[in-house]
Amino acid sequence: MLKVLFSAAPERWDEYRAPLANAFVEAGLTVDLARDHRPEDVDYIVFAPNGPVKDFSPFVRTKAVMSLWAGVETVVDNPTLTQPLCRMVDDSLTDGMIEWVVGHTMRHHLGMDAHIHAQDGVWRNTIYPPVAAHRPVTVLGIGALGAACGQALVQLGFPVTGWSRSPKAVPEIVCEHGDDGLRRALTDAQIVVLLLPQTPETEDILNVERLDLLADGAFVINPGRGPLIDDDALLAALDAGKVTGATLDVFRVEPLPADHPYWAHPNVTVTPHIASSTRPETASVVIARNIARCEAGQRLLHVVDRGLGY
Ligand code: NAP
């Protein structure tokens, strides 16, 4: 019998206990799932950074750590973590992100706020948004989430350019990579969506110089991670009108402090890191199937590259 340790925030236990147990059975695994196994007995850890495990060194027989989160920046550098770390890639997580990105893209594209905030009896019928085909969108990061969001936007008619570290071919998206590719991807983009991981290479990727490449009046949508954006540069671009609006879901400090200028800025929408969350039913299936692969001697899926940090 495999021993699987659940190490996430305590309130998650009730949400995950039954879905994980069911998924293990469906995957043909016999599992003792608990929150209090002795570290030296644990075969796999279901992990979130806000759970109790901080030191992985006592987990001497653990074959893999299965993250409930897609972003792994808070654990990837943990020197005690010598076991393989698998990040979360799950269809429901992706679907949630597609809906959030498409929703906020359409809100900015259609200029919805102008009408929502102008229910004052004045008939303003002179401003039309362009059709999507005339609104270039750039997605920074075209991995599991960025590629799916980009393709959903293509289905709506937006011309989408994506940017990644390595050369990629994502159907229907113009794919760029490297420094020159970033310049091309951002130049004249009207909407930028950030879905990069937080690594030393991606910190402040959207800085003064790169904001300047965007089309005048562009929109910035960040469901990736807070440090991807130079906050002072974005606030300056918003104040100058270079950037017309921003929807920000993630921040350097979370919860975003109540006195942060983003809260008060009229052209910024703050959402509290809710763009997409891991769903217990589907995430449990992903974890169980990955453990079953490992037990069958197959390669684990979604293993984090420690050197790259994602
Ligand atoms: P992923 O599959 O690992 O994709 C990451 C993408 O970023 C890849 O295309 C990768 O390039 C690219 N990238 C990484 N480093 C780069 C660099 N230095 N230069 C250029 N491109 C780089 O990750 P994912 O599952 O799509 O998730 C992306 C991020 O979304 C997560 O890390 C997390 O921070 C965030 N997230 C947020 C929420 C939320 O609710 N707000 C929910 C889930 C996830 P390659 O293709 O060349 O590797």
In angstroms, what is the span from residue 181 Cα to ligand 1's centroid?
Answer: 17
Report the alpha-carbon distance of residue 130 to residue 24 in Å, rounded: 50
Determine phi and psi for 276, rounding to 5 degrees: -155, 135
Decide: 63 and 294 in contact? Cβ < 8 Å: yes
Decide: 289 and 266 in contact? Cβ < 8 Å: no
pLDDT of 127 reads: 82
Is 302 catalytic? The answer is no
List per-block mean pLDDT (blocks of 10 residues) for the chain, which spans 310 residues.
97 97 98 98 97 98 98 97 98 98 98 94 91 98 98 98 98 97 98 98 98 98 98 98 98 98 98 97 98 98 97
pLDDT of 108 reads: 97
196 ligand 1 Cβ < 6 A: yes
- Residues 3-21, buried b or exposed e (16+ Cβ, 10 A)? bbbbbbeeebeebbbebbe
Q: Residue with the nearest Cα to atom 36 of ligand 1?
A: 224
Q: Which domains does the chain possess? A: 2-90+278-295 (3.40.50.720), 91-270 (3.40.50.720)
Atom of ligand 1 nearest to the CA of 275: 40
Atom of ligand 1 nearest to the CA of 72: 32
Report helix, strand or coil for 219: strand
